[in-house]
A = this chain, B = another copy of it.
Amino acid sequence: MARKPQTRNPEQTKARILKAARDEFALKGLGGARVDVISRRAGIQKRMMYHYFGNKEALFQIVIEHEYTRFREAEAALEIERQDPVEALKKLVAFTWDYYIAHPEFITLVNSENLHKARHLKASSVLRPVNETFVDRMRALLKRGEASGQFRKGVDAVQLLITLSGVNYHYLTNQFTGEIVYGRKLMTKAARDERLAFNIETILRLVCKEGVM
């Protein structure tokens, strides 16, 4: 009884499922997302999702692998290696901030994954190389800054990366409770600009020698 089947196009079908899944997972979390909603939003039969991805959890895993990879690739494209260390650091903070703002779904997906104790990423092997070069890039930057006399010695790359991510990420992911707790609009243009400047200053004060900033 199947009528008017969509012109066959497996790549497009898969892509539409992934996009719809990303949006629904980002909006409701893994637990709140509904397979029926995903298939409706994708404009495909639910059966096709099971055909291409297996089940809801496997779909979630692909989505989060995708989003992580996309983020790291964009970050690598910055080529901070070639720039003055202080400028590179500023640029990295601003990039992270802008990326989170441009891709709010990345943040909610990562939150959801952490609620599930990263069980999907643990089962994945895609990200290991990507992340290693990511940490290595920061180590190299710190070393360059130390050599040039601009950075203090002994700053740990991982701690710094967590803090760099954290000051940006936390402001955005907790913006809704934040507006209530602090009694202030947090996402106006002015508020966002102010926050980015504050975050850059936080990171520079942590890394730079006195008088360099």
| Chain A residues proximal to chain B, CB less than 8 Å | 28-33, 108, 110-118, 121-122, 127-128, 131-132, 134-135, 156, 158-159, 161-163, 165-167, 169-171, 173-184, 194-195, 198-199, 201-202, 205-206, 210
Contact = CB atoms under 8 A, between A and B. Distances in A.
Interface of A is mostly: helix
A131 B170 contact: no
A183 B118 contact: no
Contacts of A176: 113-114, 116-118, 121
Q: Choose among A156, A167, A174 the residue with the greatest number of B CB atoms under 10 Å from its CB.
A: A174
Nearest to A110: B177
A113 B177 contact: yes
B181 A131 contact: yes
9 contacts: A29-B31, A31-B33, A113-B176, A118-B177, A127-B180, A131-B183, A135-B182, A166-B171, A202-B202
A171 B164 CA distance: 11
A182 B12 CA distance: 34
B210 A206 contact: no
A127 B181 contact: yes
